[in-house]
Structure 1
Amino acid sequence: MALSTHQLDSRKLLPKLYREGEEAELSQVVRALSGCVLFNDRIARLDAAATEDAVNAAQRLREIVVPVAHEDQFIEDIWQTPELPAIDLPDDLQWEQVRSEPQPQVMIGPVRLGAMTWLIGKLRFDYAGLLLDSTDDRRAVCDAGGRRIVHRDEAKETAARAELQRLGATPTVASETYHGSFKVARKDFAPLVLALNQAGWHVEAEGHRIRHPGTTHISLASGVDWFELDGHVDYDGEQIGLPKLLEALRRGEDFVTLDDGSRGMLPSDWLTRYAPLAQMGEAEGDKLRFKPSQALLLDAWLSAQPEVNVDAAFEQVRQRLRSFEGVRSHEEPAGFSGVLRPYQRDGLGWLLFLEEFGFGGCLADDMGLGKTIQVLAMLVERRNRPASNGDHKPALVVVPRSLVRNWAEEARRFAPQLKVLDYTGLDRGEAREQLDQYDLVVTTYGTLRRDAGHLKDVPFEYAILDEAQAIKNAASQAAKACRLIQSRHRLAMTGTPVENHLGELWSIFEFLNPGMLGRSNSLKLLSSKAAGTDTEGVRLLAKALRPFILRRTKEQVLSDLPEKTEQTLYCELDAPQRKLYDELRNHYRDALNKRIAKEGMNKAKIHVLEALLRLRQAACHPGLLDKSKASEPSAKLETLMEQLQEVFDEGHKALVFSQFTSLLALVRKRLDKGKIVYEYLDGQTRDRQQRVDRFQTDPDCPLFLISLKAGGLGLNLTAADYVFILDPWWNPAVEAQAVDRAHRIGQTRRVFAYRLIARDTVEEKILQLQGEKRHLADAILSADNSLIGGLTADDLQMLLS
């Protein structure tokens, strides 16, 4: 077709057919068929550029008049309609034909497709300033303002698409929302952009140019009472500080905004190594600041980052820490009435190391390994040293209510020279002004919470938390009260420092070394990928915390342990249970005194045994006396559940014995409520061996409840290494039979046996009789009437006192 001048203000488009210098008017065409055209006297073949539809359309129009004012638009329309045949334009309408190198450009934005976050991108090409989407099928681009035609390079565009796919981009398909684009997984994005930038591509994110990170720098400087970490990344001359970079990483972003509005790609791998420090330090401008208490943690962390430059002051601190030759075993101090096992001497050395360097620590040995004894040995060692100012300040130990007497008893047994104060009673106000006269003050978490206003102003040498998981919730009143304590040194004791998530460990460490781990959610965030950390970051964190946590399992110290360890756990009755017991004791004391005075001891012995049985039941659980009281609290049941939870958390199995099946029934209710799996055996059980086999072989069954009469003999339960005797019978042979269900041939681990005793009850009184009148204790607990005749009136008064 040709465009010729028709008149001054218009042009006329005259369609013609051409072949080897020959031309034909369309008026001569009879009909255009598929691939050919029919004349009156001949048939001619049409080439690909002249379709039958174009010929038929031109034949109907005959001629097209184009106003001069619209001729540029007409020419642009021609080039933007690829199916039109070539048009022969006059010289004055010939636009410049440009063939330039296409510059690939990638435009990217985040889109969530299904369960995965993808980055969706568009590929386009820059032809001498004209931008063309890669999905555009025009053969050329018209620049009307410059009166030029820019021809596309199909080969180079195809090569660019192939390179994009090679680097991890996937073309979207017709069924996807973003058809005509490409998608790339977030994990593949950084290497993709790096490769494209190096190849000279232009990459944008959400309309902003993306710059790849250049050189990185990190250094540590010291101040009067702080350390400052200075880190930055260079983006074509602009430096971005570590806090800003880490905050973008924490938000899950891929870029940081630069001053010129462009986006700098985050060096994720490099930043991930420092993400935990961002949670522990405080941002000061474009730097991170740390407290002196964090020196050991910083040293442990930065030792894995050799590119960090540290100043001379921190290097001195580092050398002092490293010059320490390690924790040395420490012998029992003078005045300590006991013998420490080798691992306990190591524990004493570790406690003294913490004291020397001014750190708080968490003693997290397995249950039964003697955490209390190690701490008492440390307190005796401290007591033996002269105070710097001639004034010994007391140590405060905070414990669950059930452990108050245990601490007092252990101190009396192993550290008799320590003056111990039980700061729990209603009369504790009188002792409040005399705390400095004691070496060891024992109180409960509840008492500390109530007396926080008074105790926060008392200076202590040590603040020690036993069963420190009690403050795992940093927002609890107990945790807040513990953090208010003034003390030079701090310790925590727990077999389970982390039960659910790392955030619980933060609460304990905020008590031990305030500020060491930064903000309250730092450890919880560090345990998730969203924090920008990974398994390597968590590994470094564990390494950094290792000096502050000492944990030995039974298996690790097996050679140091006796085959069987037995211990008495004293349980404190709460007010309602104490009231019930005292009323029952007073009733039987009065009734028996009258009966004995009237009938004599021999005739009253049946009534005496009944009274002692009822008092033993009252010491165990109110529900044993009255079924309507089955839901009331019991000191023994609460102590048992606390101990069992620790046993389970450490991956062990346990046996629980009682001669009262009604007490075992109450234990079962608590276990069912807590969805704890267990086996049960009493005199009515028929499938004994099946139950034994399940306990022995099923790792999900950690507990076996057994009545004394049904399980005292004949059972092999070596899967258990903990034994709890709920209502001791003090007949050595019978008690040994119960413990030996676990401690027998085939047992490869050490066995720990615990006897639960209700404090200030007939149970404790009979324990006192054990050494003096063993036969009387056996008779009382076995209902052997033949021996009860040896019980004197004085013995009975002691039992009922």
Structure 2
Amino acid sequence: MSERDDIEQVEAVPRAVLTLCQQAYMRTIRQHTLRATAAYARLSFDYGGWRISAEGDLHEMRHADDGHDIQLRRSRSLENEAREALEHLRLTDARLISTRIRPLGPGFVAGDYVFERAHDELADADHWLVLLPRLSAAGFKLEFDAAFPYAVTGEPDAWRADVEHGDNQWFDLSLGIDVDGQRVDLLPILRKLIADPDFPLRPMRNEAEDAVWLVAIDARRRVPLRLSRLRGLLEPLLEWLDAPNDCGRLRLSKLEHGVLDKIERNGVLRKGGEDLRQTLETLRANAAAADAPPGFNAQLRPYQREGLGWLNFLAEAGIGGILADDMGLGKTVQVLAHLLSEKQRGRIGGEAGPALVICPTSLVGNWRAEAQRFAPDLRVLVLHGNDRKRKFKAITHVDLVISTYPLLGRDREALAAQRFALLILDEAQAIKNARTLAAKAARTLRAKRRLSITGTPMENHLGELWAQFDLVEPGLLGDEKRFVRHYRTPIEKHGDAEVRDKLNRRIAPLMLRRRKEDVLLDLPPKTEIQRLVELEGRQRELYETLRLAQHERVREVVSDRGVEGSGIIVLDALLKLRQVCCDPRLVKLEGARRVPQSAKLDLLLTMLQGVVDEGRRVLVFSQFTEMLDIIAEACAAQRIEHLMLTGQTRDREAVVARFQNGEAPVFLISLKAGGMGLNLTAADTVIHYDPWWNPAVESQATDRAYRIGQDKPVFVYRLICAGTVEEKIQALQARKAELARAVFDGGATSELRFDEADLEALFSPL
């Protein structure tokens, strides 16, 4: 077609349009001709109001009302992109199958597309329903011929959210859409979408801004819902939609009121819950630093006053939480100040019921002593020892009950019969495994609120964090399977920073965590030093001999059972190698007993003699009680005065007091017995004789000396046998520490794993 000067040239961006139709056709099966029905899509293009069929020339000519000619320039490249998109969705040009199928009626023309389910069989309208959402998401505008058996409504008249909440810490959320004057429940629709593998949770390439997804509202009608709005609703509600629910609404913590803001930003009209935000803002305003209550015998530091304000906020809101300050920041003092405040408000003691503290056995004396010292107005009952059962009747007459994790399982029935105003789980990492007897027993206790106290809310993996939150505020992070799916797997295995940040936001209101270096600016410096020890002579030969034997043993069991099924054998093999590094006498093998030397013990004795001569006080930690016995024997031989604390020590408080009072310069402590709950600020030197898997455990032990009240610089030594499994453990420690920092401090993280490559590294030669 030639161009003339009097022809107006028009250009526009085409929108691909599919008109859904249906017609009969004939199928031949085993020489029998059958009548069937096929749905098909007729392709056309909308150029700014000009509807152009898939056929036609490069230009389209029209005669305008004013008498001049208008010529439209078609974009063949964009039209071809639409055809390629249809082919990508497995649609076939109907004319290509005309040799196999003889249609009735008007027949297929250029631009008609069909979906072949099998040879010579075309999909009917039912099968096309699953294609329609993907076609819309791909940018096609959908229209429907009168013969198409399904009715597609217009877009909803309104999207609505109804909020109901009572006096507790939850609110109920219902979602719906108005279609032709009828309210349709949106929650079942959203649940089906997240279960549909074809639903695009993220925008697809070339997706139109107004792309819709067709959803069924009854057997016949389909409603188009804007994809952008659907995604905007699914993103904040995804994990709650994934929860089992048959009540027609979602139950959310009122701390998640920000979800309502996200919903409203997607054009959803909200009804109810107007006072929810105001209530929480008022509560948070009251979470400012609080003064210690009258009668509290301690001057709180500024950060401790902030902690007390936060604890009071939890009480006003009626919710639980985790106080996760670093070791040595005075968590017990903050909690005791809160307990006294709650008693004075009438929320602890009397008809409200007492508070119950569950702690490790080693901390019973510490809780009793500090309660008497700082809050003497609190009536305290200790349930410990063989005569504790006769004290059960006194529970309702006191303000604070103290018991232990080991006794929790034995006394569960008696404690579960009581109603407590507050349950406090001290050193709550003890219930980091939800399947332990203590964790299960703690869940049976009846308490209005629950509070965890721990300096290490997560030691190894995110599952431990979930276990603690699920105990203090059940349901906040969903059940364990949902937590693994929505948080643990994306963060630990895929390093998903976006999911990690989302978890940080979820737990932030209910977890208070301060680090020493951030709040104790007046604390003296801490110097950490790693001392490498070279194995020599027969000790080195013993290590290599044992390493070869244990490596072969581990390889065989891993080959047979896999890494996950070989844990006991692997740990036992590593234990033997670590024992050789500490002292060959720890290894229960005849050949090991004949090795007379320990390079690390020689170094330790040299260090102890030096620091004692300088007038320093030393804590020596080891996880091996037998190693402490060997060290004690060596100290006695060199006339180094010392004390020792292990799980067998009967009067812990007396031994601690003797060290604090200066009776001996060296304190030998087992990592398990003395790694928490002790105040040993008389020491200014900490020596970790043998490294352990978890850096958090070592930090807890170090913090026995590096804490409030310390006025001297602290030196921390780690004795590591060079080139051995001890040095290689440090890399695993770093990865666990990195995961904890990522969750609590927002840093980057990488996959945390223990695989065959790790084993090969751990068992590599010196």
TM-score, normalised by the number of residues in structure 2: 0.50
Report if aligned partners of 2:152, 2:223 keep a CA contact under 8 Å in 1: yes
Query: Does the aligned pair in 1 maintain the 2:365–2:653 contact within 8 Å?
Result: no
| Residue aligning to 1:709 | 606
Q: State the shift of 1:463 in Å.
A: 0.8
2:175 match: secondary structure: strand
Give the Å deviation of 1:434. 1.3
**Residue 290 of structure 1 pairs with residue 290 of structure 2:** no
Count of matched residue positions in the alignment of Structure 1 and Structure 2: 473
Q: For residues 527 and 490 of structure 1, what CA distance do their matches in structure 2 show?
A: 23
**Letter of the aligned partner of 1:351 in structure 2?**
L
Listed one character per residue, the Cα deviations across residues 116-157 of structure 1 (whole Å, up to 9, x for unaligned) are xxx9732224xxxxx444xx596x9865x66x887x64xx68
Confirm or deny: 8 A CA contact 2:319 2:449 kept in the other structure.
yes
Match of 1:303 in 2: 261
Which residue pairs with 1:272 in the alignment? 235
Give distance in 2, aligned partners of 1:252 and 1:132.
32
- Preserved CA contact (<8 Å) 2:240 2:250: no
Residues 1:251 and 1:541: Cα distance change in structure 2 (over 3 Å) = same
Q: Match of 2:514, as an amino acid? A: R
For 2:336 and 2:437, how far apart are their aligned partners in 1? 27
Q: Distance in 1 between matches of 2:462 and 2:269?
A: 29
Q: CA deviation at 1:260?
A: 3.8
Measure, in 2, the Cα distance between the counterparts of 1:493 and 1:476. Answer: 18
Give the aligned residue type for 1:470. A
CA distance in 1, matches of 2:185, 2:442: 37
Task: Give SS of 2:516's match.
Answer: coil
Superposition deviation, residue 246 in structure 1: 3.3
Instruction: Give the direction of change, closer, same or farther, for the CA distance of 1:446–1:262 in structure 2 (3 Å limit).
Output: farther
Q: Distance in 1 between matches of 2:584 and 2:659?
A: 29
Match of 2:198 among 254, 264, 267: 254
From 140, 143, 146, the equivalent of 1:197 is 140
Which aligned pairs between 1:124-523 and structure 2 lie closer than 5 A?
Answer: 124-125=92-93, 131-133=94-96, 136=97, 153=110, 193-198=136-141, 217-222=159-164, 227-232=171-176, 241-254=185-198, 259-260=218-219, 267=227, 269-270=231-232, 271-279=234-242, 282-285=245-248, 288-290=249-251, 294-297=253-256, 299-307=257-265, 313-324=272-283, 325-385=285-345, 391=351, 393-499=353-459, 502-523=462-483
C-alpha contact 1:341 1:560 (8 A) present in aligned 2: no
Paired AA for residue 511 in structure 2: I
Q: How does 1:582-601 map to 2 (within 5 A)?
A: none
Cα distance in 1, alignment partners of residues 451 and 471 from structure 2: 9
Task: Give distance in 2, aligned partners of 1:242 and 1:232.
Answer: 5
Q: Does 1:546 align with 2:513?
A: no
Amino acid at match of 2:411: D
Partner of 1:608: none
The amino acid of 1:554's aligned partner reads: K
Structure 1, 230-239 or 343-352: larger mean CA deviation: 230-239
Does the 8 Å contact 2:162/2:174 carry over to 1?
yes
Match of 1:676 in 2: none
Provide the rounded CA distance (Å) in 1 between the counterparts of 2:243 and 2:427. 26
Q: Which amino acid aligns with 1:559?
A: L
TM-score by length of 1: 0.48
Q: SS state of the match for residue 450, structure 2?
A: strand
1:536: Cα distance to partner? 5.3
SS class of match (1:396): strand
CA contact (8 A) 1:281 1:518 kept: no
Partners in 2 of 1:537 and 1:434 — Cα distance? Answer: 48
1:214 to partner: Cα distance: 6.4
Distance 1:764 1:359, change over 3 A: closer
> Letter of the aligned partner of 1:301 in structure 2?
V
Q: Secondary structure at the match of 1:290?
A: strand
What does residue 123 of structure 1 align with? Answer: 91
Report deviation, 1:384: 4.3
3-state SS of the aligned residue for 1:372? Answer: helix
- Check 1:231–1:344 CA distance in 2 against 1; reply closer, same or farther (3 A cut): same
Q: Which residue of 2 aligns with 1:682?
A: 600
User: How do 1:516-595 residues align onto structure 2 when only pairs under 5 Å count?
Assistant: 516-527=476-487, 539-540=501-502, 542-559=504-521, 561-563=523-525
Give the whole-Å Cα distance in 2 for the aligned partners of 1:495 and 1:335: 27
Residues 221, 192 of structure 1: alpha-carbon distance in 2 compared, 3 angstrom cutoff:
same
Q: Would the alpha carbon gap of residues 385 and 681 (structure 1) be closer, same or farther in structure 2, given more than 3 Å must change? A: farther
Distance 1:440 1:290, change over 3 A: same
Task: Compute the displacement of 1:258 (Å).
Answer: 5.2
Q: Which amino acid aligns with 2:398?
A: Y
Cα separation, 1, equivalents of 2:153 and 2:276: 39
d(CA) in 2 for partners of 1:536, 1:767: 46
What is the match of residue 690 of structure 1?
none
Q: What does the per-residue CA deviation read over 1:381-432, in whole Å, with 9 as the maximum and x for residues that have no partner?
A: 3344556996573221111233333323433443344443331322211111
Q: Distance in 2 between matches of 1:663 and 1:430?
A: 49
1:471–1:507 Cα contact (<8 Å) kept: yes
* Post-superposition offset of 1:501: 5.5
Cα distance in 2 for partners of 1:235, 1:348 equals: 51
Give distance in 2, aligned partners of 1:444 and 1:561. 32
Name the CA shift for 1:452/1:192 in 2 (closer, same or farther; >3 Å): same
Contact 1:220 1:309 in 2 (8 A): no
CA distance in 2, matches of 1:523, 1:402: 33
Larger radius of gyration: 1
String of CA shifts for 1:555-584, please: whole Å, max 9, x gaps.
32242545479xxxxxxxxxxxxxxxxxxx
Contact 2:176 2:186 in 1 (8 A): yes
SS at match of 1:276: helix
Query: Which amino acid counterpart does residue 159 of structure 2 have in structure 1?
Result: H
Alpha carbons 2:162, 2:271 under 8 Å: kept: no
2:236·2:262 contact (CA, 8 Å) conserved in 1?
no
C-alpha distance in 2 between matches for 1:346 and 1:196: 54
Residue pair 2:358, 2:402 contacting (<8 A) in 1 also: yes
Give the counterpart letter for 2:237 in structure 1: Y
- Determine if contact 2:583/2:600 at 8 Å carries over to the other structure: no
CA contact (8 A) 1:462 1:491 kept: yes
**Alpha-carbon separation, structure 1, partners of 2:444 and 2:507:** 23
1: distance between equivalents of 2:273 and 2:587?
58
Could you report, residue by residue, the CA deviation over 1:47-74 in whole angstroms, capped at 9, with x for unpaired residues?
A: xxxxxxxxxxxxxxxxxxxxxxxxxx9x
Q: Tell whether the 8 Å contact from 2:293 to 2:337 is kept in structure 1 after alignment.
A: yes
SS in 2 for 1:555: helix
Deviation of the 1:756 alpha carbon: 4.9
Q: Which structure would you say has the larger RCO, counting Cα contacts within 8 Å and 6 or more residues apart?
A: 2
State how far apart, in whole Å, the 1-side matches of 2:647 and 2:171 are.
53
Contact 2:619 2:667 in 1 (8 A): no
Distance 1:418 1:475, change over 3 A: same
**Alpha-carbon separation, structure 2, partners of 1:201 and 1:724:** 81
The root-mean-square deviation of aligned C-alpha atoms, in Å, is 5.5
User: What per-residue deviation string (whole Å, max 9, x for no partner) do you get for residues 604-655 of structure 1?
Assistant: xxxxxxxxxxxxxxxxxxxxxxxxxxxxxxxxxxxxxxxxxxxxxxxxxxxx
CA contact (8 A) 1:468 1:497 kept: yes
Change (3 A) 1:528 1:710: closer
Task: Map 1:103-122 onto structure 2 (within 5 A).
Answer: 121-122=89-90
- Segments of structure 2 that go 5 or more residues without pairing to the other structure are 1-30, 32-52, 57-78, 115-130, 200-214, 528-578, 589-597, 613-617, 623-627, 636-642, 669-766
Question: Which amino acid in the other structure matches residue 141 of structure 2?
Answer: Q
The CA deviation at 1:348 is: 1.0
